[in-house]
Each structure stands twice: as structure tokens, then as C-alpha cells.
């Protein structure tokens, strides 16, 4: 697509996510750097999930869903959500960030950042499926950051 990019100062793309970000550890979200947001974007959304969980638990495990992020921000600080953003429900049954927690072996976690044409009319605690439905037809650009984590 375009120039949108996502990275973290805590791990390189494809690299090991530090233990402190794990669900059974400190369970704080890693710092996220955002670059190249399209000038016509009105909001950003972020989904973090674990497609490797499909083999272990029979579905992609959702770790974080957050939307209506101000498109002018360049970083989401460690352990925080940006002012004005809204967080959804994870597959842990909680609202907010739920860190890596592979049940069996090393898993790859994917952070997907979306630049959107509009702000979304979704309530706090909405699911990844509801977010994806609302984003349909609104995506201007997207970027991916992958990291791995082992129990």
C-alpha cells in the first residue's frame, strides 16, 4: 500500500518480544512507533493477535484491539493507550492489552496497524470481529510488525 510503518524500540521485526510484555509477566504493552500516516487519515486502529494459536486452541487468539487513535501521534508509549483511543475485548475476556502467552511453544505475534478514513462508532469492549467489520471500506493503508515469544 503506502508509507505507513509500525515498529517497536523493544524488539526488531521478527525478533523476540521481551518477557516483560508477556501476559504472565508484567503484561504491559510494548512501545509502538508509527510513521508515514496518510494525511487524509482520521484515525488509526491496532490489532495484535496470535495466528499460531490456531493449532493449539483452534482459533487466532486476540491480544489487543484499540481504535480511534489520533493519526497525528508518532508513538504509543509502553504500557499505555493513547488519549482518546478506545480499547476492545481480548480473548482473555478483558479490555485492554493482554500480552503473549503461548500455551505450547514459540508463537509469532502480529501487530497490525490501520490508517482509516474515519473515526469508528464502536463502544469500549467491542471485539476484533466488530472492529474489522467497522473498518471495512475505511482502510487507507496498513502496516505489520511481527514478534515472537516462547513460554
Give how many domains the chain has, as a whole number: 1
Q: Which domain holds residue 86?
A: 5-130
- The answer to whether residue 137 is domain-embedded is no
Dist. CA 10–CA 30, nearest whole Å: 7
Residue 68 CB neighbours (<10 A): 20
- The answer to whether residue 135 is domain-embedded is no
- The answer to whether residue 145 is domain-embedded is no
- The answer to whether residue 68 is domain-embedded is yes
* The pLDDT of residue 56: 84
- The answer to whether residue 139 is domain-embedded is no
- The answer to whether residue 87 is domain-embedded is yes
List, for residues 43-59, the tens digit of each pLDDT value: 999 999 999 999 888 99
- Supply the CATH number for residue 116's domain: 3.90.280.10
pTM (2 d.p.)? 0.96
Q: What string of H, E and C letters represents the secondary structure of the chain?
A: CCCCEEECCCCCCCEECCHHHCCCCCCCCCCEEEECCCCCCCEEEEEEEECCHHHHHCCCEEEEEEEEECCCCCEECCCCCCCCCEECECCCCCECCCCCCCCCCCEEEEEEEEEECCCCCCCCCCCHHHHHHHHCCCEEEEEEEEEEECC
- The answer to whether residue 151 is domain-embedded is no
List, for residues 86-134, the tens digit of each pLDDT value: 999 999 999 999 999 998 999 999 999 999 999 999 999 999 999 999 9
Amino acid at each position: 500500500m503506502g508509507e505507513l510503518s509500525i515498529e517497536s524500540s523493544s524488539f526488531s521485526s521478527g525478533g523476540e518480544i521481551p518477557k516483560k510484555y508477556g501476559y504472565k509477566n508484567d503484561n504491559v504493552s510494548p512501545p509502538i512507533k508509527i510513521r508515514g500516516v496518510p494525511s487524509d487519515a482520521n484515525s488509526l486502529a491496532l490489532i495484535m493477535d496470535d495466528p499460531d494459536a490456531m493449532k493449539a486452541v483452534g482459533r487466532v487468539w486476540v491480544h489487543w484491539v484499540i481504535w480511534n487513535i489520533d493519526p497525528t501521534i508518532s508513538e504509543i508509549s509502553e504500557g499505555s493507550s493513547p488519549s482518546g483511543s478506545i480499547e476492545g475485548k481480548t480473548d482473555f475476556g478483558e479490555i485492554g492489552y493482554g500480552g503473549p502467552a503461548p500455551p505450547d511453544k514459540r508463537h509469532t505475534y502480529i501487530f497490525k496497524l490501520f490508517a482509516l478514513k474515519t473515526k469508528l462508532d464502536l463502544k469500549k469492549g467491542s471485539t476484533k470481529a466488530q472492529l474489522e467489520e467497522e473498518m471495512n471500506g475505511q482502510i487507507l493503508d496498513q502496516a505489520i510488525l511481527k514478534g515472537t515469544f516462547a513460554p
